[in-house]
Amino acid sequence: MTNKQDIMLTAIEELRLKLKEEDCQNGDIEIEKILRELITELYIKREEVQQLEDDNKQLQLNVSELKKQLDESTRVCKEMRLTLDILKQKAPNGEEQSFEKKVTYAKVQLQYKVMLSDIATLKEKLDLSESERNDLSRKLEVLENKFKHCSSYKDEIMKRDNDIRRQIEDINESLLKLKTDQTTVVELAKQSDLAVEAMVRIEQLSRKVEKLSQERELYQDLYVKTNGNLS
């Protein structure tokens, strides 16, 4: 029984060490702290993604509006160019144009030049907006990938945390069972020790009874012999 007790105590001690090791690992990893940091980072990344998406939509609207303005300016510019060509064609060859026609021509020509400048400016703005939109799209893609990575990492950490908790619960249950078994073994050991003591005591008493019986028979024989001699 002593060997069984030693084995049981050794098993319990091993489980305690294993449980302590699991607790240390859990403490070293600081899973809950990491999860809190990851969740906070995920919220920030989600807000950044949302902001980038909003900015991207706004840039798309700006690009669309600039394209409309560019198309309209180009159309007006073509009309002005056509008007200039018509004015040139109507002017008699070799004759001086009237002052009114000269003014009209100059105004249209000036408007045409201004419109060309506006078109160039719009093209620059459009190119810049499209470049910004492309950069923003790349940033958005990178940020979305980071967000997915953080989400995946968070899920993996939570899965590991659940696995560790489940292992600790299983170990605690096993430890409790072993403690119960240990108590049972100790009780059985006590009972066994009492039984051994009782058997030893019975054997001692049996030998004593046998000895007393022999002495009794001896005394009986002496008694018979003594009575015979007296007769």
Q: pLDDT per position in the chain (231 positions), as tens?
A: 445 445 445 555 555 555 555 554 544 455 566 666 666 766 776 777 777 777 777 777 777 787 787 777 777 777 777 777 776 676 555 444 555 555 566 666 677 777 777 777 877 877 887 787 788 778 778 877 777 776 776 677 677 667 766 776 776 676 677 667 666 656 666 666 665 665 666 666 667 666 766 666 665 565 556 545 444
The pair of three-digit structure tokens given for residue 70, joined into one six-digit string: 């560019």
Query: Would residue 182 be called left, alpha or beta, if left means φ above 0 and alpha means ψ between -120 and 50 degrees?
Result: alpha
Phi, psi torsion values for 98, nearest 5 degrees: -65, 160
Q: What's the pLDDT at 102?
A: 59
Locate 30 and state its tokens. 């600081």
Residues 55, 97 contacting (CB under 8 angstroms): no
- The 10 Å Cβ neighbour count of residue 163 is 10
* Residue 50 pLDDT: 77
**pLDDT at position 74, please?**
76
CATH number for the domain running over 2-230:
1.10.287.620
pTM of the predicted model as reported, rounded to 2 decimal places:
0.41
Q: Are 91 and 112 in contact (CB under 8 A)?
A: no
The whole-number pLDDT of residue 18 equals 54
Instruction: Supply the pLDDT for residue 72.
Output: 79
Token code pair at residue 185? 């073994």
Under 8 Å between Cβ of 80 and 119: no
Q: In a 10 Å sphere around its CB, with 0-12 CB exposed, 13-18 middle and 19+ buried, how is residue 174 labelled?
A: middle
Alpha-carbon separation of residue 55 from 65, 137, 147 (angstroms):
15, 10, 18
Helix (H, G, I), strand (E, B) or coil at 96: coil
Tokens encoding 44: 């920030």
Amino acid type, 93: N
Report the C-alpha gap between 152 and 165 in whole angstroms.
20
